[in-house]
């Protein structure tokens, strides 16, 4: 059994159905990327998995437990954590305070975990008192990931972590993401920078108009000429 199994997920907003029965799996320790055109439902799928959008039919299983219908705060407790694309840090709080907020449901001593995050994200360790609102886009993304990591996730969902970053910053953020995965955390990634993301991913899914289009190993999607032409910009 996979770590995460989303089967035939139907979800949407109001009268509008966006996901028409999407299925994806993530195995323990895997890195999996979802790509697809704007508006095809990638973010909606992530929100459905973490309970922010209702699963109308289908099922989401995490570690063999049916979590479809769980509220978001209960899903976080299962160590499935999610970093949304924007508004993912508290701008008026410092780096350290953001990490403390990330740990607010932990009742053990989380200070050593903060130090671990500073080792994993040296870019954050230099000025722990700096307000998140004054950070660069890349530093903010790293803080958002580190904050989610405070709860020691088994699976981390990242929605477009490299969006809007300079190429250099994008490289740094991808490098940190790879290190998070190497530390044993399974990752499900949505990315517009599809080539870079697929290069470091075990598998990828292409989603089109709320349906599965294609699923393959990351390197096989990259070397598929039709995929390159249609979804990777040639
Ligand atoms: N809160 C919302 N209310 C209504 N429609 C939404 C909402 N969020 C997204 N949508 C619509 O759902 C569709 C899929 O959006 P989204 O999942 O964000 O796509 P993607 O992440 O693949 O770009 C789009 O047509 C979008 O306009
Ligand atoms: Mg999106």
Residue 17, helix vs strand vs coil: strand
Look-up: residue for tokens 């044993």? 184
Query: Cα(88) to centroid of ligand 1, in Å?
Result: 18
pLDDT tens by residue, the chain, 234 residues: 699 999 999 999 999 999 999 999 999 999 999 999 999 999 999 999 999 999 999 999 999 999 999 999 999 999 999 999 988 999 999 999 999 998 877 777 788 999 999 999 999 999 999 999 999 999 999 999 999 999 999 999 999 999 989 999 999 999 999 999 999 999 999 999 999 999 999 999 999 999 999 999 999 999 999 999 999 876
* Tokens found for residue 186: 């399974």
pLDDT in the model for residue 25: 98
Ligand 1 atom closest to residue 85's alpha carbon, by position in its atom list: 21
What secondary structure, in 3-state letters, does 139-153 show? Answer: HHHHHHHHHHHCCCC
DSSP-derived letter for residue 130 is S
Contact by Cβ (8 Å): 5, 63: no
Helix, strand, coil tally for the chain in percent (to 5): 35, 25, 35
CB within 6 Å of ligand 1 — which residues? 13, 18, 36, 38-44
Query: From CA 182, how far away is CA 23, in angstroms rounded?
Result: 25
pLDDT in the model for residue 87: 87
Q: Which of 39, 50, 83, 190 for mutating ligand 1's site (highest number of atoms within 8 Å of CB)?
A: 39
pLDDT in the model for residue 65: 96
Counting beta carbons within 10 angstroms of the beta carbon of residue 222, is it exposed (0 to 12), middle (13 to 18) or buried (19 or more)? Answer: middle
| Structural domain total, the chain | 1
pTM: 0.96
CATH of the domain at 9: 3.40.50.300
* Tokens found for residue 193: 């920078």
| Domain region containing 169 | 4-231
Look-up: residue for tokens 């599965």? 212
- For the chain, count helices (H), then strands (E): 10, 10
Residue 35, helix vs strand vs coil: strand
Contact by Cβ (8 Å): 107, 97: no
- The H or E element spanning position 1 is none
DSSP-derived letter for residue 158 is E
Ligand 1 atom closest to residue 44's alpha carbon, by position in its atom list: 17
* Residues in a beta bridge with 214: 206
What is the residue with the minimal CA distance to atom 24 of ligand 1?
39
**HSE-up of 190 (CA within 13 Å, CB side)?**
23
């Amino acid at each position: 059994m996979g770590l995460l199994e989303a089967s035939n997920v139907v979800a949407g907003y109001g009268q509008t159905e966006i996901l028409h029965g999407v299925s994806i799996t993530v195995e323990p320790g895997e890195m999996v990327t979802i790509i697809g055109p704007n508006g095809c439902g990638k973010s909606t799928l992530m929100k459905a998995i973490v309970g922010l959008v209702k699963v109308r039919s289908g099922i989401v299983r995490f570690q063999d437990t049916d979590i479809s219908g769980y509220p978001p705060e209960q899903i976080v407790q299962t160590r499935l954590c999610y970093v949304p694309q924007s508004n993912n840090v508290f701008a008026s709080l410092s780096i350290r305070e953001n990490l403390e907020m990330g740990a607010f449901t932990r009742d053990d001593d989380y200070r050593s975990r903060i130090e671990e995050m500073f080792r994993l994200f040296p870019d954050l360790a230099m000025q722990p008192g700096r307000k998140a609102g004054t950070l660069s886009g890349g530093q903010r993304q790293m803080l958002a990931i580190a904050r989610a990591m405070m709860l020691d996730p088994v699976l981390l969902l990242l929605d477009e972590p490299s969006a809007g970053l300079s190429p250099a910053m994008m490289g740094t953020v991808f490098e940190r993401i790879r290190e998070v995965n190497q530390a044993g955390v399974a990752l499900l990634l949505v990315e517009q920078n599809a080539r870079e993301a697929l290069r470091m991913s075990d598998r990828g899914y292409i989603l089109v108009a709320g349906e599965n289009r294609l699923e393959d190993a990351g390197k096989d999607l990259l070397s598929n000429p039709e995929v390159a032409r249609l979804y990777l910009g040639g």
